[in-house]
Amino acid sequence: MESCAELSGIAQTLWDNDVNRLQPGIDYKISLQEQVGQTYTEVTGKTTFPLFLFVNEDVFKKKTFSAFISLLDNYEADRGQPEVITPEEENEIHSFLDALMETRVLQIAHNYLIKKGRAKVNKEEFQWQLYDMWFHLYTREGSIQPNSSGFEHVFVGETRGGRTVIGFHNWIQFYLQEKLGHVDYRGYTMPNNQVEQPDENKHLLTLQFSWKKGVKPNGSCFLGVSPEFEFALYTIIFLVSPDRQLKLRFSEYEVMIVCHSNKNKNIETTYPILLRYLVNSWSVEKMSLRMYTLNPPQNSDVSMWSSLIILYPSEFMPILLMRTTPHPPNRRIYAELIYRAELIYRA
Residues annotated as catalytic (active site), given as ranges: 153, 169, 216
Q: Measuring CA to CA, which residue among 136, 142, 180, 138 is closest to residue 160?
A: 142
Question: Could you give the 3-state DSSP secondary structure of residue 54?
Answer: strand
d(CA 250, CA 306): 15
Q: In this structure, are residues 27 and 52 in contact, taking their beta carbons and an 8 Å threshold?
A: no
Q: What is the 3-state secondary structure (H, E, C) of 285-344?
A: HHHHHHHHCCCCCCHHHHHHHHHHHHHCHHHHHHHHHHCCCCCHHHHHHHHHHHHHHHHH
Burial class (CB in 10 A: 0-12, 13-18, 19+), 297: middle
Closest Cα to residue 157, out of 69, 68, 76?
76
